[in-house]
Amino acid sequence: MIDRCLGVQRSRKVRRALRNCKVTILCLVLTVVVLRSIIGAGKFGTPEQDLTEIRNRFYLHSRKRGAESHRVLKDDRQTTSASSNTSNTTNSNFQKANNNYNEFDTSNISVDEEEDENPDWHKPYSVGPKISDWDERRSKWLKENPKFLNFVGEEKPRVLLVTGSSPRACENPVGDHYLLKSVKNKIDYCRIHGIEIFYNMAFLDAEMAGFWAKLPLLRNLMLSHPEVELFWWMDSDAMFTDMAFEVPWDRYKDYNLVMHGWNEMVYDQKKWTGLNTGSFMLRNCRWSLDILDSWAPMGPEGIIRDRAGKILTKELKDRPAFEADDQSAMVYLLATQRDKWGDKVYLESEYYLHGYWGILVDRYEEMIEKYHPGLGDHRWPLVTHFVGCKPCAKFGEFPVERCLRQMDRAFNFGDNQILKIYGFTHNSLVSKRVKRVRNETSNLLAVKDQLGLLQSPFKKAIKKIG
């Protein structure tokens, strides 16, 4: 009938349009159904119970995981409303935040106080039971086990480098290759400097995933390895670029936490990049257990971390909006409780315990031309840290090509210092190939290893076991 009314061609067009409409309507219906099942209540006019149901499921799910008791931080409505004022009141907000709780971890956030029927959920998150006498217990253990020395040689503490990555393969197929190169890089530096490595690939606490995973890990390692004096956490996207630089351990003998950073940027400006937690040292002592406990409460994944992130964005300078990260939380902790923690925290800026890749990688050729390994600073950085690159994830904050190319260059820059020991070097800073730079000689023992890395003088390890 349509044919007769409209003509053959026009009728074809009309039929096609009707078919398209049917498909469109079907898709719309499916979308609504799916959305309804995900988001549920409220916005689509379904009962409010759904919101409560989801929240309950969240808590029950967390319990079922069998992890530590999960706590929701108590709401302090005064802090919340105060923080919505202008930046002129920032200092008073910090004061209020400081005064409103005994410990850093008893404040700030709740999911929905009126919904809560279980008062336990308002206790702050903790990485583990408090151990007030850890220093005494550890001392006693060390005396009873003299074979395990926490100091090796005269001045060098026993150090354990702690790093790791997800147990899952990277979303970006090439990501695992860069993790592999990164761990090889760490193996080389640590072999030369007499440092042991712990590579973690387990989430010990399901809530503390991502950048927060290092907290429960460090606590666990601390308590399990009393013979280790210093734990050196290093991110998987950080690489050693000065194989000859020895950390000035003696400088830190009166401190328990060493991070790259600047006092004024943390305590005065409250800048979220005032320090970096991608490469830091933590002493094995009670003070460290306490700071881990104070640091952790913004970490639990989900609503707590999201809301904590909003507070951190408001309180810290230049911080973009995203969930709470361990670095911002540390800045906040130190800035608000300087009296409690500050005297045992060393913010190091004389060498690159963490070196931001953006200001270093284009200067490698200049460094090679003018300087030499062993300096550790802007002239020859100890660590080049690829913050924001995220080679394991699908998306990072920088173009992936630049990141990967520069990671290759940084790797080769460090690797050349190792290869040189054996008479080789990479063909170029981007090349995987190597070439011989020292004539083959049968008298290798007479060959001078310029950096003195061959039989490393840094290995002051004395580990006696009868």
Q: Which of 97, 213, 218, 221 binds a second copy (CB under 8 A)?
A: 221
CB of 422 to a second copy, least distance (A): 5
Burial class (CB in 10 A: 0-12, 13-18, 19+), 230: buried
CB of 418 to a second copy, least distance (A): 9
Structure tokens at 220: 């666990």
Nearer to a second copy, 2 or 430 (CB): 430
Nearer to a second copy, 225 or 372 (CB): 225
Q: Which of 88, 173, 395, 401 binds a second copy (CB under 8 A)?
A: 173
In sequence order, the 6+-apart residues with CB closer than 8 A to the CB of 60 are none
Q: Which of 109, 159, 170, 218 binds a second copy (CB under 8 A)?
A: 170
Phi, psi of 163 (to 5 degrees): -150, -175
Decide if 272 contacts 264 (C-beta within 8 A). Answer: no
Nearer to a second copy, 184 or 344 (CB): 184
Dihedral angle over CA of 398, 400, 406, 409, nearest 10: 160
Pick the piece of the chain touching a second copy (CB under 8 A) from 80-88, 93-101, 105-113, 180-188: 180-188
CB of 210 to a second copy, least distance (A): 15
Nearer to a second copy, 75 or 188 (CB): 188
Structure tokens at 81: 């409303």
Nearest of 22, 19, 3 to residue 11 by alpha carbon: 3
Any contact of residue 459 with a second copy (CB under 8 A)?
yes
Element (DSSP H or E) covering residue 383: strand 383-385
Any contact of residue 368 with a second copy (CB under 8 A)?
no
Nearer to a second copy, 36 or 177 (CB): 177
Question: Taking CB under 8 A as the criterion, which residues in 29-68 touch a second copy?
Answer: 66-68
Any contact of residue 229 with a second copy (CB under 8 A)?
no
Question: Taking CB under 8 A as the criterion, which residues in 117-146 touch a second copy?
Answer: 128-131, 137-138, 141, 145
Mark 391-430 with x for binding to a second copy (rule: CB under 8 A) and - for no binding.
Answer: ------------------------x---x-xxxx------
- Say which residue the tokens 């500050």 belong to: 342
CB burial string 115-145: b at 16+ within 10 A, e below: ebeeeebbbbbbbbeebeebeeebeeebeee
Nearest of 389, 366, 367 to residue 376 by alpha carbon: 367
| C-alpha to C-alpha distance for 372 and 410, rounded to whole angstroms | 15
